[in-house]
Structure 1
Amino acid sequence: MKYWKQMWSACVLFPLVACGGGNQSNAQTEQASVGTDSVNQVVETILARRSVRKYKPQPVEREKMQTIVECGVNAPNAMNRQPWEIRVVDNPDFINGVTELYKKEQPKAAEDPNFKNMFRNAPTVVFVGRDVQSGSAEFDCGLLSENMMLAAQSMGIGSCCLGSPAAFMRSPAAAEYLKQLGFSEGYELLYCIAFGYPDEAPAAKPRDLTKIKFVE
């Protein structure tokens, strides 16, 4: 049992340590706190993360986004093929321009008085592309994205993984903007993630712990 607790702790700590979230000494300190009365910052970050859908207008500083995406690319992935590409956009002209096209296709969206852009009003958007030849790409990109969202949470930055805006980006109406992202040949946009400073504090939604079972 002690062995498995140590292994679990190491797996939880790895993402933030790998992307510069702490040195070896700090990692050992965090490991020692698992299962004790001390607060484990990694576990706390995971349990505190929420999907944020309301943001303050200022974009996330680029040096912070650089740290966030570096945490992403340090995610585990099959055979270290890293079957992803990342594009970070904080240019209002891009975000507002593609939003105008979206509003023409989805006029009801603009009826919301709080609607500013199609990315949940986020000022910074990360677009994640996958290698279409990789059978593990979707799984690997999921790990990449979770690393980014947890890193953002640890820095006081909110996030929300978005599927519908990515679907619009892949449509003929947004072809010009998709081209601007410059994904390599053989890669396609999988989804996007909104990032920004939260302007809301969503409550935790219930989780069904009955779906967890230990097999003897």
Structure 2
Amino acid sequence: MKRSAKILCLLGLSFLMISCNEQQNGTVNQEINKEQIVVDNLMTRRSIRAYEDEIVPRDIMNVILECGIYAPNGMNKQPWEIRVVDDQNYIKELTDLYLSDMDDDHPRNPKKDPNFRNMFRNAPTIVFIAMEPGFCSQVDCGLLAGNMVNAAWGYGIGSCILMAPIQFMKSEKAKPYLDKLSFSEGYELLMAIGFGYPDERPQAKPRIYEKIKFID
């Protein structure tokens, strides 16, 4: 499905929810609609691992990033730094280096995947998040990432939080590419997030509702 069609589907879903909440007199309860649209966005978001080639426009990325930095964080320390890479040469060169370091017999060698394009699940836009170590830093950066991926989905943009590439990014071999991100001294690369227009529509995995309990 092409990107424009996917966005229309999302807009159509939102319109359908608004229509379903119309009152008998033909007016719309705006508060209920807003709540339902937010809930629907959270419930329908999926981790995407197949993307179209198109880079996410920077004006949209700026909104996604702003939503990220408005995440709750302990004592407002904002212990993160964010770098956005949509330079396809950087991604390709780093990926080539990653592949050259991988044993051909590795059971998960991406060279065996005919659809493989880069080490970030083929996403064309990558956000790197580094943290300043501290008591709540990992939690704060997780909330930052959560805000971003959910905001992105509202624009019809898929995402996937990626931890596997981080180990390689911290290796001596990849040091020039990590250095190019220019994180401040004392900050440690924590995660990457791939963003792009989805080329798949995965179903949700089952959730374990029994893990939720109210205590009286």
TM-score w.r.t. length of structure 1: 0.82
* Corresponding letter in the other structure for 2:126: V
Deviation at 1:109, TM superposition (A): 1.8
Instruction: Name segments (4+ residues, structure 1) moved above 3 Å.
Output: none
For residue 54 of structure 2, the aligned residue among 44, 53, 58 is: 58
Identity %: 51
Q: Where do residues 2-21 of structure 1 align in structure 2 (5 Å cutoff)?
A: none
Count of residues paired in the alignment:
183
Residue 125 of structure 1 pairs with residue 126 of structure 2: yes
Q: Where do residues 200-211 of structure 1 align in structure 2 (5 Å cutoff)?
A: 200-211=200-211
Gaps of 5+ in 2: 1-28
Partners of 2:36 and 2:165 in 1: CA distance:
35
Residue 112 of structure 1 pairs with residue 108 of structure 2: no
Residue 170 of structure 1 pairs with residue 170 of structure 2: yes
Deviation at 1:46, TM superposition (A): 0.3
Partners of 1:166 and 1:147 in 2: CA distance:
21
107-116 or 121-130, larger mean C-alpha shift: 107-116
- What do residues 183-203 of structure 1 show as CA deviations (whole Å, max 9, x unaligned)? 000101000000000000001
Q: Where do residues 1-216 of structure 1 align in structure 2 (5 Å cutoff)?
A: 32-33=31-32, 40-106=36-102, 107=104, 108-132=109-133, 134-216=134-216
TM-score w.r.t. length of structure 2: 0.82
Over the aligned positions, Cα root-mean-square deviation in angstroms equals 1.4
Larger Rg: 2
Partners of 2:164 and 2:48 in 1: CA distance:
16
Partners of 1:188 and 1:182 in 2: CA distance:
11
Deviation at 1:159, TM superposition (A): 0.2
Deviation at 1:111, TM superposition (A): 1.9
Partners of 1:40 and 1:130 in 2: CA distance:
33
Deviation at 1:95, TM superposition (A): 0.3
Q: Secondary structure at the match of 1:129?
A: strand
Gaps of 5+ in 1: 1-28
